[in-house]
Structure 1
Amino acid sequence: MARKSDDITCNVKAYRMSKGWSQQELADKVDVRRQAIYDIESGRYLPNTAIALRLARIFSCRVEDLFVEQTPQEVQPVHVINGKDDTATRLALGRVRDRLVGLPLHGSESIPFGLRSADGLLTPDRKNAQILSSSERLDKTIILMGCDPAFEVLGHHVNRVAPDARVHCRFASSHRALGRLADGLAHVAGTHLHNTDKGESNVVVASQKLAGLSSSVLGFSMLEEGLMVAKGNPLGIRTVADLAQPMVRFINREPGAALRVLLDDQLQRAGIDGTVINGYQNEVTTHREGAYRIACNVADAALGLRAIAEAFDLGFVSITAARCDLVIPNDVTGHPTIKVLLDVLQSAALRREINAIPGYEGSITGKLIADL
């Protein structure tokens, strides 16, 4: 296999599906492993000449029909409206007459503004909903639960590919998201549990929670986790051990949250009892709540992500990088929006944007981690 390329569009999956073949069936015909077919279809790798010719012969087409070179990315002059920070690279774009205007998605501007429109209104008996959206729109809406804020970015990429497709992202801890998935209350669950000596925690816990529900675990992002602190880190916090200083006001996450497990593990290694930390019992349930308390000067440190710290103009002390995965039951893969989401996960555009988010890295985006 050769190196991956973001400049080539791979059509092998479309040809395979038109034949009604599984990845394993195609792999048998080409005489390669199933993982090779997966990597080819995802665009992670380009096959060597022999395999490319073999694929073309099997599909009775040309090699250039299977692997199409993309046209160069369009570049246009832009007028960027700079805010407090001019280092932002992600932009929201719009045309004002003949001028392309860029709004930096950095700091607080990366967090959505305003209220969301409702799809329905709960009736007084709280057992029914008055529907405001069309049935067709609801049929193309999926629910993704998890606590990676970049899920909203994924949702926007899905909507760009299919304007009538929607991804409702709802914040939930990894355990809660997997529980909702097992209960049939979500289409997709995000999880970023930290590995132990028992193996891949995302895979192990998902397998336990889903209790035999056939599913795929796909990589989404690598994200930087740690301590959010006041801008400039005035208390000089460098490690979790520094949280034990009497002057530090700490905000914890709820028991079971991935970051809480990470903290307790780090404290145990340092030989520190959590009860000596001022604020160990003060808990919030989201990254944003912790960041907000620091921004309002009612706390000095809280567990969170680098991306959230930067959004609130805070400092950040890195502890580790965790892999966030998406768990998708196989029985929902026929949903039209799930199909789009699976294709988007393999796109170079999504990987490029994930790489541009502070504290994120997209090398594992779309990679098959495990079949449950």
Structure 2
Amino acid sequence: MKSVKSPDIICRLKEIRNKKNFTQTQLADLVGLKRQAIYDMEAGRYLPNTSVALRLARVLDTSVEDIFYEKLQEHQPVALVDEQTITDPRVSIAKIRDKLYAYSLSGKNSIMEEMKAADGLLAPGNNRVMILKSNEQLENTALLLGCDPAFSILGHHVHKNRTDAALHCRFASSKKSICQLADGYTHIAGIHMHDTGSIDGNQEFIRKGLKNFKGLLVAFAFFEEGLMVARGNPFDIRKPSDLAQDGICFVNREKGAALRTLLDDCLLKSNIPFSAIHDYNDIVNTHSQGALKIIHGICDVALGLRAVATAFDLDFVPITRVRCDLVIPHDFLIHTGVKTALDTMQKSSFRNELSCLPGYDASCTGKIIAKF
């Protein structure tokens, strides 16, 4: 009949009972309870189950929400990351080293491919926030920045494996992910830099971008990168240098994106100046934005992953295979959300789904690549 009390629920049973001129005994008899149960509810020791709450509301001629309601959270200090101007108060919140950071749920970097429920609502001024989830939920939620669309699949598996843990994924280039990690704005950074000879690109990227870093570099997956083109490949694109042909409209990625770095390296090796490519400076911020431009006839070629091209029914011209890794600071290895994500990557159910994505190879998933 009873459930454990919740500090977030306010009980007005005594106030409403007195207004209706019922004693505890009278109300208990009408509802079919013992007087002690009414006393415990009014004292805040217990919350009734749904059936009892409905009977109380009926006898007292009011609503359940009038008797029991959720305590509104007070506004707390928060730092808004990324967005300079914001029109939507809905934000995703990351608690990192006891500080609250808010990321807008609107704007170019807000979502992978889905809308998300907010963790909080910004107050005017954008430096205070009303939290919409419990402190325990906030403590157990990890933030992953990166541009691999499969990160969202990891997030879903994390919640399936442990319902009190969560992994929020937000789009950012490899360079931006590392910068945000260095500034303390995320728990995990996803990167996929390209190897140069025998030098591991991701390890070298960490050494240059994160001075005195202590933590782990954990493999997420291998995937194929290349050029997305319309079905049938009407311009017969075979390699990056073909982008310099007349009549080809191309859309690029932003500076700092690993795919743009890959393209630039390929063009330099072929002695092709960037200016030879039409619309080289036309930028999109995600793989899916580039795919949509091709679908709508705005451009002919865009950088992306084989999995994204397949999802949008486009053809794909492979350039290379690269390993995407997760960069995790040492002090976050005990974080509930981070630990659950690492455990999830060891599970066959997640690895099997990841392997089903076109161009993905999960043979390395969960492997520790390096310790710093």
Q: Same fold (TM over 0.5)?
A: yes
Match of 2:118 in 1: 118
Q: How far apart are residue 256 of structure 1 and its match?
A: 1.9
Show CA shifts across 1:227-252 (max 9, x none).
01111211111111211111110001
* CA distance in structure 1 between the aligned counterparts of 2:176 and 2:231, rounded to whole angstroms: 32
For 1:153, what is the secondary structure of its paired residue? helix
Match of 1:297 in 2: 297
> Normalising to structure 2: TM-score of the pair?
0.68
Q: How far apart are residue 207 of structure 1 and its match?
A: 2.5
Q: Is residue 2:175 matched to residue 1:152?
A: no
Question: What is the identity percentage for the equivalent residue pairs of Structure 1 and Structure 2?
Answer: 48
Matches for 1:197-216 after TM superposition, within 5 Å: 197=197, 199-216=199-216
Match of 1:136 in 2: 136
Q: How far apart are residue 154 of structure 1 and its match?
A: 1.0
Match of 2:346 in 1: 346
Match of 1:329 in 2: 329
For 2:262, what is the secondary structure of its paired residue? helix
Show CA shifts across 1:103-141 (max 9, x none).
xxxxxxxx9875311111111111011111111111111
- Counterpart amino acid of residue 306 in structure 1: R
* CA distance in structure 2 between the aligned counterparts of 1:154 and 1:202, rounded to whole angstroms: 20
- Counterpart amino acid of residue 181 in structure 2: L
* CA distance in structure 1 between the aligned counterparts of 2:264 and 2:204, rounded to whole angstroms: 20
For 2:278, what is the secondary structure of its paired residue? coil
Q: How far apart are residue 211 of structure 1 and its match?
A: 1.4
For 2:263, what is the secondary structure of its paired residue? helix
- Counterpart amino acid of residue 173 in structure 1: S
Match of 2:46 in 1: none
Match of 2:180 in 1: 180
Q: How far apart are residue 200 of structure 1 and its match?
A: 1.1
Matches for 1:1-372 after TM superposition, within 5 Å: 115-197=115-197, 199-372=199-372
* CA distance in structure 2 between the aligned counterparts of 1:274 and 1:112, rounded to whole angstroms: 29
Unaligned ranges ≥5, structure 2: 1-110
Q: How far apart are residue 187 of structure 1 and its match?
A: 0.6
Q: How far apart are residue 163 of structure 1 and its match?
A: 1.0
Unaligned ranges ≥5, structure 1: 1-110
Show CA shifts across 1:177-234 (max 9, x none).
0111111111111000001147112011113322113110011100100001111211
- Is contact 2:147-2:173 (8 Å) kept? yes
For 1:360, what is the secondary structure of its paired residue? coil
Displacement over 3 Å in runs of 4+? 111-114
- Counterpart amino acid of residue 130 in structure 2: Q
* CA distance in structure 1 between the aligned counterparts of 2:256 and 2:142, rounded to whole angstroms: 26
For 2:297, what is the secondary structure of its paired residue? coil
* CA distance in structure 1 between the aligned counterparts of 2:265 and 2:216, rounded to whole angstroms: 28
Show CA shifts across 1:345-372 (max 9, x none).
2222222111101110101101110011
* CA distance in structure 2 between the aligned counterparts of 1:330 and 1:226, rounded to whole angstroms: 33
* CA distance in structure 2 between the aligned counterparts of 1:208 and 1:267, rounded to whole angstroms: 24
CA RMSD of aligned residues (A): 1.5
> Normalising to structure 1: TM-score of the pair?
0.68
* CA distance in structure 2 between the aligned counterparts of 1:219 and 1:351, rounded to whole angstroms: 12
